[in-house]
Chains A and B, each alone.
Chain A
Amino acid sequence: KNQVEQSPQSLIILEGKNCTLQCNYTVSPFSNLRWYKQDTGRGPVSLTIMTFSENTKSNGRYTATLDADTKQSSLHITASQLSDSASYICVVSAQKQAGTALIFGKGTTLSVSS
Chain B
Amino acid sequence: DAGITQSPRHKVTETGTPVTLRCHQTENHRYMYWYRQDPGHGLRLIHYSYGVKDTDKGEVSDGYSVSRSKTEDFLLTLESATSSQTSVYFCATSHSLNEKLFFGSGTQLSVL
* A residues with CB within 8 A of B: 4, 31-32, 34, 36, 41-46, 49, 89, 93, 99-100, 102-107
Chain B contributes a number of interface residues (CB within 8 A of A) equal to 21
Contact between chains at A102 and B45 (CB < 8 Å):
yes
Q: Knowing that A42-B106, A43-B104, A102-B101 are A-B contacts, what are 16 other residue pairs whose CB atoms are under 8 Å apart, sorted by A's residue number?
A: A4-B42, A31-B98, A32-B98, A34-B100, A36-B101, A42-B105, A43-B92, A43-B105, A45-B1, A49-B99, A89-B42, A99-B97, A100-B97, A104-B42, A104-B44, A105-B42
Q: Describe A's contact surface by its main secondary structure.
A: strand
Q: Which residue of B lies closest to A99 (CB)?
A: B97
* B residues with CB within 8 A of A: 1, 4, 40-45, 50, 90, 92, 97-106
Please judge, given known A-B contacts A106-B41, A106-B42, whether A44 and B101 are in contact too, CB under 8 Å: yes
Q: Describe B's contact surface by its main secondary structure.
A: loop
